[in-house]
Amino acid sequence: MADQQDPPRVTLHMGYTNNLGNFESLRIDVGIEDSRRSNETVDDTFARLYEKLEGKLVEFVLETRKKLNG
């Protein structure tokens, strides 16, 4: 019986700091972790996670800016 290993895990974190003025800033950090899929290289997994994470970070930044300015 072959020794079966779990697929590599890939973890990616991104952050954005927004200067609010008056020596205040807002920091938003997001992260994601997933396993490499059988049809992917590790680089493919990073690219897939980056695309998802980047979209979420932009979404959270825009939502937070709207709340702060609202």
| 24-57 residue pLDDT tens | 898 999 999 999 999 999 999 999 999 999 999 9
pLDDT for the residue numbered 2: 46
pLDDT at 30: 95
How is residue 59 written in tokens? Answer: 């979404």
Of the two residues 43 and 69, the one the predictor is more confident about is: 43
Tell me the three state secondary structure of residue 58. helix
The answer to whether the Cα torsion of 65, 68, 24, 52 is positive or negative is negative
Q: How far apart are the first and last CA of the chain?
A: 62
| Other beta carbons within 10 Å of 14 | 15
